[in-house]
Structure 1
Amino acid sequence: MAELATRLGVSASSIYHHFSGRTAIVEALRARMATAIDPLPLDGSDWGEQVGRWMRGYRRALAEHPALIPLLNEQTMTAGPVLHAYERIAILLRRTGVPVREVVLWIGVLDCYALGAALDLAAPDEVWRLERDDLPTLGDAISAAPRGRDRADEAFGLGLDALLTGLRTRLAAG
């Protein structure tokens, strides 16, 4: 708290006047981040498109605050706006045919993917550097791939398509 107070130019006691502690601060940050994500419309449009739009917004919101990502995973989620967003995802997944037992599992998969993809946006433009000749296939792949934000965006789109295709395949198989 002392470090946060110093960065804000206030006393630690003034922070405790507004928040009961670190957990409450993290939940407030989580709730604020959630308000930057457009909610799922639940309007009957294609569920894959709805999830895709939500995931892109989620990734964008997380990417604006990459240092927050580890904190979000350290504690139980209680922030109302976030839980309401997950309720909408749960509704959409159930309407889509996801078994109730798998709904939270799929939400976890989406969370993992969005969190990792947001961190990928913070990666350097040159993620891999080969200064050797014994990895020719990897070297060719690195040379052929886009760099920087384009690489991160294309990788996110590719992975999101794979996730949604996998879910569609599971649902079709019954």
Structure 2
Amino acid sequence: MQTSAKKKMGRPLTPRLSRKAIGRAALAMFEAGEDLSLPKLAERLEVTQSSFYKHVSGRQEIIELARGALVERARVPEQFPDTLDGVIRQTFEALISAYRLVPALLPLLLTQPVTHPAALGLYDHFVAAFEKAGVPAHLIIPAIEALDSAAIGASLDAFAMEAAWSIDEGRQESYPHLSMALDAVAASKTDRFTFLADVLAAGLKAAIDDTA
């Protein structure tokens, strides 16, 4: 006599929804240039919108989870150079490597403080590098804030437009100096992000040396 055993429906071995999954899905939406929409986010994750509230309190927390997912994508060295120039450049490069991925997220990150553990850990890593490079404690946060602001601004500029100035053909004579400078930069192979990193490194190093 054959017996048939009924399979019991239990919980999946891997939960479909988690805080990390929500953050990564939200980040993917921003990377695709989409606005953060809870219905669309639920659809992306194949869950009901109400199920979010078992894991997050609301929109702000989802944005912070997206920040944490962005930290996972940042190219951060495990060990920084001992020189201040090297620390400044590599910190800026780490920030810009992340921010350039999702400029659509950046205005939202500016509206709330950093609270995600992974993001706080990243900034703690930066602070340790500045400490090791000999930067006075009271100047470390201003230095990192300057680098952060520059990286965000550069990423937003790159997202918003190809060039900040546009002169109609035939009107260059009305703006001879600006036209000449625009022609020169168009002919140059200078990487603007590298240039900005160099300027930041020189300026911050000079400011730190003057007040140390």
Which band: TM-score by shorter chain? Answer: 0.7 to 0.9
Return the alpha-carbon distance in structure 2 between the equivalents of residues 135 and 71 of structure 1: 37
Per the alignment, residue 97 of structure 1 pairs with 134
Normalised to the residue count of structure 1, the TM-score between the two structures is 0.84
Per the alignment, residue 69 of structure 1 pairs with 106
Per the alignment, residue 20 of structure 1 pairs with 57
Q: Secondary structure at the match of 1:145?
A: helix
Structure 2, unpaired ranges of 5+: 1-35
Q: Deviations over 1:23-67 (max 9, x none)?
A: 210110011101111334335543422432332232121111111
After superposition, where does 1:10-89 map in structure 2 within 5 Å?
10-42=47-79, 44-89=81-126
Using the TM superposition, name which of 74-83 and 95-104 deviates more.
95-104
RMSD of the TM alignment (CA)? 2.4
Structure 1, unpaired ranges of 5+: none
Question: Which of these two proteins has the greater Rg computed from alpha carbons?
Answer: 2
The answer to whether the 8 A contact 1:37-1:54 is kept is: no
Q: Secondary structure at the match of 1:128?
A: coil
Amino acid at match of 1:142: L
Per the alignment, residue 137 of structure 1 pairs with 177
Return the alpha-carbon distance in structure 2 between the equivalents of residues 124 and 74 of structure 1: 23
**Aligned sequence identity (%):** 27
Deviation at 1:130, TM superposition (A): 0.8
Structure with the largest fraction of helix:
1
Return the alpha-carbon distance in structure 1 between the equivalents of residues 99 and 165 of structure 2: 23
Return the alpha-carbon distance in structure 2 between the equivalents of residues 116 and 22 of structure 1: 24
Return the alpha-carbon distance in structure 2 between the equivalents of residues 23 and 123 of structure 1: 24
The answer to whether the 8 A contact 1:94-1:103 is kept is: yes
The answer to whether the 8 A contact 2:68-2:116 is kept is: yes
Return the alpha-carbon distance in structure 2 between the equivalents of residues 5 and 166 of structure 1: 43
Amino acid at match of 2:68: A
Deviation at 1:101, TM superposition (A): 1.2
Return the alpha-carbon distance in structure 2 between the equivalents of residues 16 and 116 of structure 1: 33
Return the alpha-carbon distance in structure 2 between the equivalents of residues 104 and 76 of structure 1: 14
Per the alignment, residue 20 of structure 2 pairs with none
Per the alignment, residue 191 of structure 2 pairs with 154
Return the alpha-carbon distance in structure 2 between the equivalents of residues 23 and 91 of structure 1: 28
